[in-house]
Structure 1
Amino acid sequence: SVRLSSSYAPTGKATLTDGGYMLSGKWSFSSGCDHATWVLLGGLVFNADGNVVDFKTFMVPRENYRIDDVWNVVGLRGTGSNDIVVEDVFIPEAFTLSMSETGQCKGPGQEHNTSNLYKLPFHSIFTTTICTPIIGMAYGAYAEHVDMQQKRVRAAYLGEKASLDPFAAVRIARASSDIDAAWALAMNNIREEVALVEKGEPIPLGLRLKVRRDQVLGTQRAIDAIDALFEASGGRALAEGTYLQRAWRDAHAGRVHAANDPERALQMYGAHEFGHKIDPGMY
């Protein structure tokens, strides 16, 4: 089997040469790279005049890159998202993919990979996979919080059972609604795209932007729920080994991924609704 990691941000520089490109650069946040045998790296392609002519993904074998062990973080510690360094390596044209073509579902591999999965917009799937683990963390934090509160006796409140606190009941109701809404919207949008693909119809830009809108807000809803539950779980939630503190750390670490930038995604959606042209981006 082939194991790949990636870092799609175009921080690399590629120059055109016979049969391919010369690639150099440094990429951060390549999750799982220590276990991979290849890596997919984003880079801008420059012509002989020094002008950018494309944004491509380059597939690089393990012997042609270095891993810098820099992943010392407070959340998502297990992802091993270290840095990748490439120094003047030749990449054949066949080992590259134009991101503009990918975004339009026009990748060359679609001649051979005819499943409906490969007809879905890359950015819709990619950004959703960044969001949904955080929603999963929120579901886990919710279950842990409810279990803890059912057992908890609040000494500071004369031995009151936490589960009998009406404010605690309101809190979990709000949290569960936020988490369910995040998941339902994410899945509904992907189902809409799948339904169009199955009918052989194109996926309109408005739906792609809706996916992004609900993805970033779903991330925020999930984190808001985790925050509310964590803050109301008492001092024991701070202990090493409790799921709540881990979910809190990991969710906030996941939130800083570029795909979870709410302002950029929401601006694109709003501008489209007003009839403005949307520049190519992560949609």
Structure 2
Amino acid sequence: MSDITADQLPELLRPAIEKYRDEADETRRMPAGLLDELRTAGAFRLNAPRETGGFELPLASVLDLYERLGRIDGPTAWVVWNLNWGFSAAILPPSGFARIGADALIANSGQPGRLVADGADWRLSGAWKIVSGIESADWAALLAIVFEGDQPRMTPAGPDVRIVWVPRSAVTVRDTWQVVGMRGTNSNTVVVADLTVPADLVVPLSVTPRIDRPAYRAPLVHLVFPGCAAVLLGMARAAVDEVAALAGRKVGMDGVPLAEQPRLQAAVGRAGAQVGAARALLLSCAAELDRAGVATTEAQRGELRGAISYAAETARSVLTAMYEAGSSDPLYGSSRLGRIFRDGMAAAQHANMSAAHYELAGRTRLGLPPNALLV
């Protein structure tokens, strides 16, 4: 990895991603051969500290890479996003990170489970749905709320929310990912029942990183949330690419090549502009957080949430327009455009990209409290 720059990764990995993406869709998981190539290249160390062999990239740079990978294959990029928890080295105590190791792939889920103090340790229970890439992971980072009796423990900011790292071998994975889109992400359900977790593998969601450098100064939740939006925009851009390629070889019912039809020219032009604008907004908001570091304001964080929701809204519109522009082509199982449409529309359903987050963006812009837990 020492001779590879992060910027080179998408094109360096393109042959392997294209080679394995059909197999991933058929088997509903990332093939071992692709996982090995991604791992060797350092695709899962985008935000890991330099001293652990990571690239330690700022958020905007990481999102740019996710978008470019998503343009090659959405499900692959999605797993790369969800397993990019190299920043664990910056927020865990040294003893906790030593248990995990620098090479571990860590899948995560934002659905909260239940955490109860047990002397110096903790006991974790719960079911976490849609944990992408869990079969490729070595560990899982699971969100949990601390309970005292039957009630959540409260802090001045709301419920006491923690992140809990557990080995993949200590959880049960239920094969629930029976879907028509994003099949290759292996987003199954993780179940834990009264598992003892050492104290050095549990940190508050509001933890202050022990490595005080720019890549780790933005609020932790924002190192995670925007990645799925970047991947989705990459898929929307891939749909535009596919229609452009299709239009060069397909003839309409009137005998005129699609590429020569003003209607299609306008659709492709509009879609390209829409994706470009949404991408620029997302990266710009991320760059603002990179610059502000620990001094980020609620308004800046709210703007990023709005950009995430806008990315999903835009991607849906572009995917639908390109599906229509593709005529009968995307109806077929062999169609790359059809696959991108199904994957993209599935990805857009992620809770991180819900239109409900516009409310948060609006409240913070108006100077009101965000009225949300993960801000």
Question: Are 1:71 and 2:177 counterparts?
Answer: yes
1:26-175 paired onto structure 2 within 5 Å: 26-48=127-149, 50-53=151-154, 54-99=160-205, 101-102=206-207, 106=208, 110-111=209-210, 113-154=211-252, 156-157=253-254, 159-175=255-271
Larger radius of gyration: 1
Question: Are 1:279 and 2:375 counterparts?
Answer: no
Q: Please tell me the residue identity of whatever aligns with 1:45.
A: V
Contact 2:299 2:367 in 1 (8 A): no
In 2, distance between residues paired with 1:141 and 1:117? 32
Give the drift of 1:49: 6.2
Give the drift of 1:272: 2.4
Question: Are 1:179 and 2:285 counterparts?
Answer: no
Q: What residue in structure 2 maps to residue 251 of structure 1?
A: 344
Contact 2:105 2:138 in 1 (8 A): yes
TM-score normalised over the length of structure 1: 0.90
Give the drift of 1:38: 1.2
Q: Deviations over 1:227-248 (max 9, x none)?
A: 1011111112222232211111
**Partner SS, residue 184 of structure 1:** helix
Give the drift of 1:209: 0.4
Cα root mean square deviation, aligned: 1.5
Q: Deviations over 1:44-102 (max 9, x none)?
A: 11114644341111111133211111111111101101111111111122111211x14
Contact 1:70 1:82 in 2 (8 A): yes
In 2, distance between residues paired with 1:79 and 1:203? 32
TM-score normalised over the length of structure 2: 0.68
Question: Are 1:3 and 2:105 counterparts?
Answer: yes
Contact 1:134 1:223 in 2 (8 A): no
- Structure 1: runs of 5+ lacking an equivalent: none
Q: Deviations over 1:230-272 (max 9, x none)?
A: 111111222223221111111111111110111x211112222
Q: What residue in structure 2 maps to residue 195 of structure 1?
A: 291
Contact 1:40 1:58 in 2 (8 A): yes
1:195-214 paired onto structure 2 within 5 Å: 195-197=291-293, 202-214=295-307
**Partner SS, residue 160 of structure 1:** coil
Q: Deviations over 1:137-172 (max 9, x none)?
A: 111111110111121111x22x12211211111111
In 2, distance between residues paired with 1:125 and 1:243? 31
Q: Deviations over 1:8-29 (max 9, x none)?
A: 211x111111012111111111
Are the structure 2 counterparts of residues 191 and 38 from structure 1 closer, same or farther at C-alpha, using a change threshold of 3 Å? same
In 1, distance between residues paired with 2:182 and 2:115? 31
Contact 2:125 2:194 in 1 (8 A): yes
Given candidates 232, 241, 245, the residue that maps to 2:334 is 241
